[in-house]
Amino acid sequence: MVSSTRSFGAASVADLMASIGTIPAAGIGSAFSFERAGGRSIDQVRYACREITLPHSLPSCVTYVFCDDLERTATACDFDEINLVWTTDTSVVLADIENRIVLISRNGGAGCCSKSSYPKMSDHAKAITALGLGTSATIIFQLQSSVVTLYPSGIASGVHEQRPFGVVSQLLIGDTLEKTLDQFDDTWVNAPSGRSKVWADIEGHTHIPSESTEKVIQVQLQFALKFVDSGSLIMDELPNPDGRADLLLYSETPAGPHRVILELKVLRSFSHPTKRAKGVSKVPNSANEASALEVVKQAWSYRSHYNAHRACARLYDMRKPPVDGAVKTKSLALASKLSVDLWISDVQFTSQDKRNVKVEKALASMSDVSGEK
Amino acid sequence: MTHAQPSHFRRYWILLVLRATCLAGSGTVSSDFFHKLVYYVNALLPSVGLPSETARVMKASYGPFFPEYQWDLDRLVGAGLVEVADLQWISTDQRFFGKYRITRRGQVLAEHVASGTGGLADIERAISEMVSAFLSTPAALTTLAAKLDANFGQDTVREGQVIDFGEWSGENHSRDAAKFLFHNWLTRFALPVEPIGISAATSNEEIAENAGIAPQLVPFQADKVVDEKNGRSFHLYANYLVHRLAQQSSVTVGA
């Protein structure tokens, strides 16, 4: 127990503890910078406007991003070189959805060569209109605000509607998590330097003992997810009455905490101790089937316990071919019934396996193309 | 104890701070803001296991002041990497006051250096996070807030004297307070169970031990990566300063 009379120089424990109690309900997170806005705002806007019929077909839909009020002085070149670069960068990305994004600081000018600052919305409107974008459909995406404002006929019209908006972690939007897991497989689990160097060639082991495989993946994945998104906390091995949750993605949003459960399991052909020389034993099909079903049950069970928005499970299939496809079919069927997102990842062992997968993918894409024709 | 660094390292440090202010949306910073940012960067970076560039600061009436940083900042202006506007002479303090911003050339140089060196990239990331945290709570950058800082607010040091926050004494109260805030904040998660699994490990060995695996299996150089969870200590500390400021205001109003 920490004494409340203890102090850190001029700071007392009591004051420090009291300050934690003043943290807003939306929590604190990594600060939102223009750098991040450039990469993230698109998905955030998409998420915020998922129920809004966006005029995507229009060639220029302008999204204004206002940062929080900061000490900033409007200078002769307030549409500065740096922000101009950002505008260009984001325009490139936004070309995918035929949008444009203009990054503006609320009290720092509206992207125009002017000494004036634009504290009022009407001033921003005039400035944007002067740029020839006044009649483009517009979304006002205000950082640290709880609403987005949609101007369907452009900012010049003044007609607008407000929609609730909450900044959520990237990993919680759409299929980002699934894509991230796929990328993790491609760049780590199935990468030549990944498996061969880390999984097999480790000190004291000729290979990873089967009991440790899931843990190794879990630790690696945990770090990979952190690198993808620093906006959420990735917690691991959370004990609960039903067992231990492998990974819990936790993100504070204006609407409250948002949680996603992610369970992992590995399917293997052989189980063996630390040294391969000590012998290996075949893993029966029934054991793999039990694992495949168990991961779905765990995810389902932990979802309710942690009041998670989503339960996800990932099966790493490391079995040597030929494999029994029924294991996957049964677990997928159970996942479907329990509304668990189950993804199966095939871990390739040899270069030959990898080549075969590539060829299969290529053939599949060719057949898709010919089918379309 | 902080090791002496050549001045080019300090100049790189300055570019990182000014670049971070740009990325946070505040392209131009005043002299006073700049020195305060530099102070918090140096005082709080050790809370996430990264070194500070310097660990001594002059206690001035207008807040923290680093004469050597000002010297290098002026030389960066001369080199065309930083630009200054509205330069004024403050006769009462016998100093110049200006508004600084990094130029495009300076930004390119800072990015180039950061991308080429792993350790510097970590520092760059931490400084960006730190500057963003304080710029998103501007009240934490006021002189009044600085006087409530754990190091700076100590009555034992008078104005005009130098505060040692790790150069010789090894004591950095702001760092310790930030760490304290972070660890206590973690325990306040509204999870249905005790969040035992929240790992605050920052080294490969700690992570390996927690995970029950060999250190060689830890995939990334975790000890060289600023954990984003720990990065939240910057935000918590900025929030603490604002909280104290509000406390002081209410006391003043009440009086």
pLDDT digits (tens, 9 = 90+) for B60-117: 988 999 988 998 888 888 878 898 888 888 888 777 888 898 988 888 888 777 765 6
Domain boundary among A164, A181, A215: A164
Query: A360 pLDDT band (50/70/90 cuts)?
Result: confident
Q: Which of B128, B135, B217 sits opposite A216 (nearest CB)?
A: B217
Query: B164 pLDDT band (50/70/90 cuts)?
Result: very high
Q: How far apart are CA B95 and CA B26, in angstroms?
A: 24
Is the residue at A324 inside a domain?
Answer: yes
Q: How many domains does chain A have?
A: 2
At A94-119, the pLDDT tens digits run: 222 223 344 433 333 333 223 334 44
**Both A229 and A256 in a single domain?**
yes
Mean per-residue pLDDT for B124-146?
83
Q: Where are the domains of chain B?
A: 7-254
**Both A243 and A158 in a single domain?**
no
**Both A144 and A193 in a single domain?**
no
Mean per-residue pLDDT for A263-267?
91
What residues 223-252 of chain B have any CB closer than 8 A to a CB of chain A? 227-229, 231-232, 235-236, 239-240, 243-244, 246-247
Is the residue at A353 inside a domain?
Answer: yes
**Quick one: which H or E segment has residue A11?**
strand A11-12
Query: A29 pLDDT band (50/70/90 cuts)?
Result: very low
Q: Does B184 touch chain A (CB under 8 A)?
A: yes
The secondary structure of A295-321 as a DSSP string is HHHHHHHHHHHHT-SEEEEEEEE-PPS
What Cα–Cα distance (Å) separates residue A339 from each residue in A301, A332, A334, B188? 11, 10, 8, 30
The pLDDT value given to residue A239: 81
**Both A130 and A198 in a single domain?**
no
The complex's ipTM works out to 0.76
Nearest CA in chain A to B154: A10
Domain boundary among A115, A139, A164: A164
**Both A184 and A248 in a single domain?**
yes
**Both A174 and A160 in a single domain?**
no
The pLDDT value given to residue A62: 46
**Both A269 and A143 in a single domain?**
no
What residues 103-142 of chain B have any CB closer than 8 A to a CB of chain A? 103-104, 107, 128-129, 132-133, 135-136, 138, 141
Question: End-to-end distance of chain B based on CA atoms, in angstroms?
Answer: 42
Contact B192 A239 (CB under 8 A): no
**Both A214 and A307 in a single domain?**
yes
**Both A143 and A265 in a single domain?**
no
Domain boundary among A110, A130, A164: A164
Contact B102, B19 (CB under 8 A): yes
Q: How far apart are CA B160 and CA B173, in angstroms?
A: 20
Contact A328, A292 (CB under 8 A): yes
Which structural domain, as residue segments, surrounds residue A141? 34-164
Contact B153 A22 (CB under 8 A): no
What residues 38-77 of chain B have any CB closer than 8 A to a CB of chain A? none
Contact B154 A9 (CB under 8 A): yes
Contact A19 B33 (CB under 8 A): no
Of residues B10, B3, B123, the one with CA closest to residue B66: B10
Is the residue at A2 inside a domain?
Answer: no
- Least confident range of A191-205, B35-49, B145-159: A191-205
Q: Which of A20, A73, A212 sits opposite B28 (nearest CB)?
A: A73
Q: Residue A44: is its pLDDT beyond 70?
A: no
**Both A107 and A184 in a single domain?**
no
**Both A214 and A362 in a single domain?**
yes
The pLDDT value given to residue B35: 95
Query: A297 pLDDT band (50/70/90 cuts)?
Result: very high
Nearest CA in chain B to A67: B25
The pLDDT value given to residue B95: 78
More confident residue, B154 or B188: B154
**Both A157 and A174 in a single domain?**
no
Q: How far apart are CA A173 and CA A51, in angstroms?
A: 14
Q: Does B154 touch chain A (CB under 8 A)?
A: yes
Q: pTM for the full model?
A: 0.51
The HSE-up count of residue A192 (CA atoms within 13 Å, CB side) is 4
Contact B197 A237 (CB under 8 A): yes
The size of the A-B interface in CB pairs under 8 A is 204
Is the residue at A26 inside a domain?
Answer: no
At A146-180, the pLDDT tens digits run: 566 777 777 778 888 776 655 556 666 667 788 88
Q: Does B187 touch chain A (CB under 8 A)?
A: no
Nearest CA in chain B to A246: B197
Q: How far apart are CA A181 and CA B212, in angstroms?
A: 23
3-state secondary structure B120-185: HHHHHHHHHHHHHHHHCCHHHHCHHHHCCCCCCCCCCCCCCCEEECCCCCCCCHHHHHHHHHHHHH
* DSSP three-state, residue A160: coil
Determine the distance in angstroms separating the CA of A147 from the nearest CA of chain B, rounded to an integer. Answer: 19
In the structure encoding, which two tokens stand for residue A7, read together? 């102090």
Determine the distance in angstroms separating the CA of B153 from the nearest CA of chain A, rounded to an integer. Answer: 5
Buried b (16+ CB within 10 A) or exposed e, A43-59: ebbebbbeeeebbeeee
Q: Does B216 touch chain A (CB under 8 A)?
A: yes
Determine the distance in angstroms separating the CA of B22 from the nearest CA of chain A, rounded to an integer. Answer: 8
Query: A68 pLDDT band (50/70/90 cuts)?
Result: very low
Q: Which of A20, A33, A245 sits opposite B24 (nearest CB)?
A: A33
The pLDDT value given to residue A4: 59
In the structure encoding, which two tokens stand for residue A327, read together? 């294991």
More confident residue, B26 or A197: B26
Determine the distance in angstroms separating the CA of A362 from the nearest CA of chain B, rounded to an integer. Answer: 31
Q: Does B37 touch chain A (CB under 8 A)?
A: no
Q: Contacts of residue A305 in chain B, CB cutoff 8 Å?
A: 192
Give bridge partners of residue A343 from the DSSP assignment.
A314
Contact B239 A35 (CB under 8 A): no
Q: Contacts of residue A22 in chain B, CB cutoff 8 Å?
A: 239, 243, 246
| Helices marked H in chain B | 7-23, 31-44, 67-78, 104-116, 118-135, 143-146, 173-186, 204-211, 228-254
